[in-house]
Structure 1
């Protein structure tokens, strides 16, 4: 994995106020599209790329339905998914209207400890990457899929 070093002023801890070098991952190297992910997963397998994609899409649909019902979904070696939302505050309980005051519904993912930890990583120092203010165009999720 590529990393770069940058000098930063520490804002807390024993080194507060000191200028120290800190490593940051350089992840912009390559974006793996959904189609490429399915292709890689199909390698050395009896399951085809289209079947893998179908499982992902079905998983998304089922996960959305279950979380919409308030369930926490255990996804085994990946981790778990749970529903959450933000809510506006009201002074009186009787003034609370879910359709008005509950906003931004989301699914939160908590990776399992095993999935969270990267294994077999090699590190390679690269020059610090300039920060750009332009947003990258997202890659397509595959033909015919949202």
Structure 2
């Protein structure tokens, strides 16, 4: 599936602190997000291209995430299709001697680590469209979010994100 719309970007000025151009002011491109697709809308989009309905897609996605999390918590690596692998990861304190290590005090936490499939996460098939940079505001307010739109559980619509 190719890109539907070009990716928006704007140029912003940055003064570099390291590298060949340290101390120089340069322009860099920054991706600009059009909006956010809610989980409900995402399930609708997937359902429109399958024989499953919205609830079945949502159930399968949630069940697969819960199942993968449980397997990773048990020490398994889960190949999660085109996304990549989900692996267990630990954060722990360092100790000088192995006999001094105590799991309850030295392991600080466990996490699920996504090892992304590089070909999936490289967006080689996109086009780009330059837009004006956002004006700098002194107050940080709430950003407009397309997640407030109710999900479309019917079959109408084009099935395109942002359509």
Q: CA deviation at 1:81?
A: 1.0
Question: How many angstroms apart in 1 are the aligned matches of 2:81 and 2:65?
Answer: 15
| In structure 2, distance between residues paired with 1:88 and 1:134 | 39
Other-structure match for 2:105: 100
Q: How many residues are matched?
A: 140
Q: Deviations over 1:60-112 (max 9, x none)?
A: 12111111122221122221111112112334434432222212321111221
User: What do you get for the CA RMSD once the two structures are aligned?
Assistant: 2.7
Displacement after TM superposition at 1:40 (Å): 0.5
SS at match of 1:77: helix
Q: Does 1:14 align with 2:20?
A: yes
Q: CA distance change for structure 1 residues 44 and 64 in 2, over 3 Å: closer, same or farther?
A: closer
Secondary structure at 2:109 match in 1: strand
Match of 1:78 in 2: 83
TM superposition outliers: structure 1 runs of 4+ over 3 Å: 90-95, 130-136
Q: Look up the match of 2:157.
A: none
Once the two structures are superposed, the pairs formed by residues 1-146 of structure 1 within 5 Å of their partners are 1-27=7-33, 29-129=34-134, 130=136, 133=140
TM-score w.r.t. length of structure 2: 0.73
Look up the SS of the partner of 1:62 in the other structure. helix
Runs of 5+ in structure 1 lacking a partner?
Answer: 141-146
So what's the TM-score if we normalise by structure 1? 0.80
1:144 alignment counterpart = none
Q: Deviations over 1:8-60 (max 9, x none)?
A: 12233322221110001112x21111000000011132121111111111111
Question: 1:6 and 1:74, CA in 2 relative to 1: closer, same or farther beyond 3 A?
Answer: same
